[in-house]
Each structure stands twice: as structure tokens, then as C-alpha cells.
Amino acid sequence: MKTNKFYLHYLLFITSAVLFSSYNHAHSLENAINSKDRSSKNVSRDKYRNPYETLSFFEIKQDMKVVELSPGGGWYTEILANYIHSPGVVIAAHFDKDSDRDFYIRMRNNFENKVNQNPMYKNVKVVDLSSKLADEGSVDAVLTFRNLHNWIGPQIDLIFSNAHKALKQNGILGVVEHRANPGTSLEDMRKTGYVTEEYAINIAQKHGFTLISKSEINANPKDTKDHPRGVWTLPPVLRLKEQDKEKYLNIGESDRMTLLFKKL
């Protein structure tokens, strides 16, 4: 009888260990990126956006409470939704519901419909970009990808201020942005979509963040940054359509800064 009890306990221990290991493996960042739940269109951008290296650099863990600022169509949300699991949560701060721009309302509605119709997004909550984002001091990380140029002006101060308030002490701010050449004017940043590292760092520091590290993960030396329709000349937008298409496809996506800040 003792032998049988020992054997039973042993089997239970092994089964639990296997299940626990499988759970961790299933929710690893690598598996989230390689998940079949991701759209093939999004996967095709991985070679330019380097999601594994980028999210690893930003120290994102599967049990974190993460705010993604202005997720657009949800390219990174798709990965975060696969990766972040209870007690973690993803807060997608999208265009405001009461925006006076029809395009913003359409984008917000399309994003919410996608989130609501797919159980993969069960841990994703949608809030307004101009809201307080989350309860003060409750968030582990705030991330934004290729958005700073859209916020230049009073909006960027509001967003960075709210991000700082929402973050816990030692919380993470991760920024990826199209990188302008030093000395580029604010007017040209708005026009071209490229932002200087100096501007990005200064605006973060203005709102209490400390720069911890920079990375060249998303650098692209092929990008000359002098395109006729700004960054949108390059893929995936290709605003010139067929004009010089092969040239811009050969360049690839933009040269980007990748900055890690913390609320110390």
C-alpha cells in the first residue's frame, strides 16, 4: 500500500511539473511571436520590427500590466495579447471614442470589434488615449511604437504625463520611433514622420523619466530619410504606390530609435 501511495504521489508530481512547464512554454515570448493566431500580414513585418528583441530589451514579462499607447491596427497588440496572461493585462490606449475626426472613430471601432470578437484578446482592455490610462501607480510598463510624430504639441505632454502617473515606481517606458537626423526642426518632424532622438529623450525627461538604455535593434542604415512623402513613402504604406516601388521595398521600413526609460 505504501508503495502504491508513493507511486501515485510521484505521478501527480510529474504530471503537475509537466503541465506547469507546458504552460510557461506556451506563454513564452518566442511562442507568442510564433503563434498561429497571428495574421500572416503582420508576421511579414517581423523582419523589420524585431518584436522578440524589442520586447526583450523593454524587459516585458508575461505577468505584467502593460499599456500600449495608440496601437493603431494592433500589430504589437496581437503579440502582447498572446504573451501577457493573468494576472497580467494589456491596456490599449486607442483614439478617443468622442474624437471629432471620423478616421479616428473608424480606427477605434475597428480595433474594438477585433478585440471583442476574438478570445485571444480576453486580457486586453481598451481606453481613450487622452484618459488617465490606469489607476495611479498601477502599471508595470507603458509602450509606444512609431507614434511620437503624431503627438507633437500639447498632446504629447498630456500623454507622457498620464503615462508617468500610471506607472509604478521603477516602471518601464519603452519607445520605438522613426529616427530623424540631428537638427531636424519640429515642423519637419511633423511633416516627415521622423523624430530626433534628442526630442524624444527631452520630452520623456521633462515628464520625470530617466533614460536607461538605447538600442540599435530597429536601426536601418539604408533609410536616407529624404523621401518625397516622408516616412510613409516606405513600406508598409508605400504612399507613392507603384512609383519607385522596388526602390523603397529594397530600403525596407524606416530607421528607428529604440529607447528604454524608467520612472525612478
The per-residue pLDDT for range 167-223, each reduced to its tens digit, is 999 999 999 999 999 999 999 999 999 999 999 999 999 999 999 999 999 999 999
| Segment 25-58, tens digit of pLDDT | 447 999 999 999 999 999 999 999 999 999 999 9
Residues 53-103 pLDDT 10s: 999 999 999 999 999 999 999 999 999 999 999 999 999 999 999 999 999
Report if residue 68 sits inside a domain: yes
The pLDDT value recorded for residue 19 is 39
Rounded Cα gap, residues 174 and 80, in angstroms: 14
So what's the pLDDT on residue 23?
39
Q: What is the CATH number for 51?
A: 3.40.50.150
Domain-located, residue 75: yes
Q: Judge whether 224 lies within some domain.
A: yes
Q: Evaluate whether residue 6 is within a structural domain.
A: no
- Give me the pLDDT at residue 4, please: 55
Asked, for residue 85, whether it belongs to a domain, the answer is yes
Say what the pLDDT of residue 17 is: 41
Any domain includes 223 = yes
Q: Is residue 26 part of a domain?
A: no
Q: Which domain holds residue 224?
A: 35-262
Contacting residues for 107 by C-beta, under 8 A, at least 6 apart: 72, 73, 94, 95
The answer to whether position 25 is within a domain reads no
Return the closest-CA partner of residue 219 out of 243, 197, 238.
197
Q: How many domains does the chain have?
A: 1
- Closest by Cα among 208, 175, 180 to 192: 180
Q: What is the mean pLDDT of residues 1-20?
A: 46
